[in-house]
């Protein structure tokens, strides 16, 4: 099987490429990544050690994407995921996330390739997510009693990043409807693990561990500034497991959209995450309370995994403590201080 992973030198793409190459017999796995994101050059070296070639091509370049060799399957991991980038550099977000997917789809149609598309929980309406919480000035821990499934509202604003992901989903359905080809769309929640070079608004879990380990400052931003906002977390290895299962079953199970995340058993508030990082690293750091809430911030998100479990009998296996330990071990073994300034 010939597999192309776009965004293959990113956190998800690089881990997935190595995982699949080791587990699919005779798999020919290639990466496509222009190395624009910090840390991608490190992951390209990891791929090289595993004899996985990275093609340094910008996914928004229609001609170069169209001239690629033929693949049986394309896994589209390529995205500019940082919400702040949606405001600072909207052209890059649009070109990478939407134009890039359009180019990949044209390639799929030309070669009759299947596609697995990594979408995001950020396709859901910010306004509707905020309505789940009665008082957005979070002065005490939230009641954890709601999950978000695939039927949750997507019509209202969700950020430019969320829009490009949702628009890409619709493009996939339009392209593949007529051609009778196979696709899977996965709306992932927060993914975390080793080799993720996190930022405040994207990849906050490794950022939290790293700032404690390296004794750097952090901030609780928004919703009262006390760190009570909640997200569920899924380990990158659990992500790789479900995608491998989807690849194996794609001829029988296809043309579906799934929510996938840590769920009820794997969620945390920022305050709880802080306590776990202090316990893990032995370091207590200063955390500023900043109650300014961005229009794009969400106070609460926990994935409903019912559909993915019913379809594949899959559920996440790795708990939050193990996720944090794996990140910490990676930081200890590798000199990554410069990536978490």
Q: Which residue has the tokens 């690629």?
A: 68
Average pLDDT, the chain: 94
Q: What is the pLDDT of residues 310-340, one digit of tens each?
A: 999 999 999 999 999 999 999 999 988 888 8
Confidence of residue 146 (pLDDT cuts 50, 70, 90): very high
Considering the entire predicted model, what is its pTM?
Answer: 0.96
Tell me the C-alpha distance between 108 and 311, whole Å. 25
Instruction: Please tell me the distance from the alpha carbon of residue 157 to that of residue 34, in angstroms, as a whole number.
Output: 29
- Between residues 33 and 83, the one the model is more confident about: 33
pLDDT digits (tens, 9 = 90+) for 226-283: 999 999 999 999 999 999 999 999 999 999 999 999 999 999 999 999 999 999 999 9
Task: Tell whether the model's pLDDT for residue 83 goes beyond 80.
Answer: no
Report d(CA 264, CA 231) in Å as an integer: 10
Q: Residue 211: is its pLDDT beyond 70?
A: yes
Quote the CA–CA distance of 337 and 339 in Å, as a whole number: 5
Residue 118 confidence class, pLDDT cut points 50, 70, 90: very high
Q: Quote the tokens at residue 331.
A: 């930081």
Q: Identify the H or E element spanning 313.
A: none
pLDDT of residue 337: 83
Per-residue confidence at 135, pLDDT binned at 50, 70, 90? confident
The pLDDT of 20-47, averaged and rounded, is 95
pLDDT at 82 over 80: no
Give the pLDDT score at 85.
Answer: 65
Token pair listed for 121: 């929980």
Rounded Cα distance between 283 and 210, Å, is 11
Walk me through the domains of the chain, giving residue ranges and CATH numbers.
Answer: 2-340 (3.40.50.720)
């Amino acid at each position: 099987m010939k597999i192309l992973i776009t965004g293959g030198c990113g956190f998800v793409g690089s881990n997935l490429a190595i995982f699949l190459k080791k587990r699919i017999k005779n798999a020919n796995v290639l990466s496509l990544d222009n190395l624009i994101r910090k840390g991608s050059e490190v992951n390209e070296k990891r791929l090289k050690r595993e004899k996985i070639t990275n093609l340094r091509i910008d996914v928004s370049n229609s001609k170069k994407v169209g001239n690629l060799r033929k693949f049986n399957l394309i896994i589209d991991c390529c995205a500019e995921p940082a919400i702040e980038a949606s405001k600072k550099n909207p052209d890059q977000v649009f070109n990478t996330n939407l134009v890039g997917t359009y180019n990949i789809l044209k390639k799929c149609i030309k070669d009759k390739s299947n596609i697995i598309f990594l979408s995001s929980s950020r396709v859901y309406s910010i306004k509707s997510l905020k309505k789940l919480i009665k008082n957005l000035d979070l002065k005490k821990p939230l009641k954890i009693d709601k999950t978000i499934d695939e039927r949750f509202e997507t019509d209202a604003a969700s950020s430019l990043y969320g829009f490009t992901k949702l628009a890409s989903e619709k493009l996939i359905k339009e392209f593949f409807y007529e051609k009778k080809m196979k696709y899977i769309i996965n709306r992932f929640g927060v993914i975390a693990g080793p080799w993720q070079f996190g930022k405040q608004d994207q990849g906050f879990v490794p950022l939290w561990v790293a700032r404690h380990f390296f004794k750097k400052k952090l901030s609780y931003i928004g919703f009262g500034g006390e760190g009570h906002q909640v997200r569920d977390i899924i380990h990158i290895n659990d992500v790789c497991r479900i995608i491998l299962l989807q690849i194996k079953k794609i001829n029988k199970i296809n043309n579906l959209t799934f929510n996938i995340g840590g769920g009820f058993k794997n969620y945390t508030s920022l305050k709880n995450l802080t306590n776990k990082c202090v316990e893990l690293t032995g370091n207590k750091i200063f955390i500023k309370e900043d109650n300014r809430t961005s229009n794009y911030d969400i106070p609460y998100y926990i994935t409903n995994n019912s559909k993915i479990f019913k379809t594949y009998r899959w559920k996440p296996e790795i708990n939050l403590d193990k996720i944090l330990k794996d990140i910490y071990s990676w930081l200890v073994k590798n000199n990554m201080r410069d990536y978490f300034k």
